[in-house]
Amino acid sequence: IGCGSECSYRKFGRGNEVKALTLVGNCSDDMAIAIASAPYRCIECCEEAIELYKDYTNGVLKISRCSSCQKPVDKYIEYDPVIILIDAILCKAQAFRHIIFNTEVNIHGKLGVFCLLCEAYLRWSQRQGSQRSSDPADFIRYTKEWDFYRMFGLALFELVMFLMGVFAFLWPIKWYEKKDLDSAKLLKALLLSSYGKLLLIPAVIWEHDYSNLCFSLIKLFVITSNSQAIRVILNSSRWLSLLAVLSGLLMETFFQEFAIFGNIFM
């Protein structure tokens, strides 16, 4: 990229995780900012950043500092993935910003499908355990696992209603504030932050007297993680992100009541 014969941009990268644009030539700082977008965010203050680290001669790398808070833009690029995962489980905003803004994580679609399968398996196992019948027709239905596919469809529609509730709550607010809502980034963050649903499988396998308590705690953890993801994307207050999640849950609950009343998926 360049603005003439005397300047250009050179891309540096380390694997697929980080890339940076470094100015070469005689361009002014204002021109550099105008040409190069800021694809990264400071994990401390959420300020935009052009690069995560500087690449000097002889392979010497130095983490860039934020121009706003003067702290390292992203300290997690030097951390082990296990530490990043632990901080994400603890719902630290810095870890969420690193994963959402400063890395190329594209597993949100597959993760969302796997979480739906976990929810479907939980409901299917509970349904089979509560409905024992000697009717041959019921036996054939259980053998072909039709109920499992119905539970998967129910979980999918509930997820869609939850997302619709969140977006329906946030869009008018962003329109009033005259700010754009990055729908794709928000959708990705919500799907990634729902990874806690994977815990449903071990909770079902190792069934015990406190299974219902475990399911409730998993639900609470997913809600907390979703709320933190919204807060990181919008750089908003905890109350706004919590209200957005509650709006999604309200829409999801409405669909559940409608499905039960209309005998849908049952």
Domain assignment present for 86 = no
3-class SS letters over the chain: CCCECCEEEEEEEECCCEEEEEEEECCCHHHHHHHCCCCEECCCCCCEECCCEEECHHHCEEECECCCCCCECCHHHHCCHHHHHHHHHCCCHHHHHHHHHCCCCCCHHHHHHHHHHHHHHHHHHHHHHHCCCCCHHHHHHHHCCHHHHHHHHHHHHHHHHHHHHHHHHHHHHHHHCCCCCCHHHHHHHHHHCCHHHHHHHHHHHCCCCCHHHHHHHHHHHHHHHHHHHHHHHHCCCHHHHHHHHHHHHHHHHHHHHHHHHCCCCC
DSSP β-bridge partners for residue 85: none
Domain contains 88? no
Same domain? 152 vs 213: yes
Range of the domain at 144: 108-261
- Is 99 inside a domain boundary? no
Distance CA 251, CA 248 (A): 5
Same-domain pairing of 159 and 67: no
Q: Are residues 125 and 62 in the same domain?
A: no
Question: Is the pLDDT confidence value at 159 over 80?
Answer: yes
Residue 248 within a domain: yes
Does residue 119 belong to any structural domain of this protein? yes
143 pLDDT band, cuts 50/70/90, is: low
Q: What is the pLDDT of residues 73-131, one digit of tens each?
A: 999 998 999 999 999 999 999 999 999 999 988 899 999 999 999 999 998 888 766 55
pTM value surpassing 0.85: no
Please count the structural domains in the chain.
2
pLDDT, tens digit, 9 for 90 and up, residues 8-21 = 333 344 333 434 44
What integer is the mean pLDDT of 193-215?
88
Higher-confidence residue: 84 or 140?
84
pLDDT above 90 as % of the chain: 49
What is the arithmetic mean of pLDDT over 218-222? Answer: 96
175 and 234 both lie in a single domain = yes
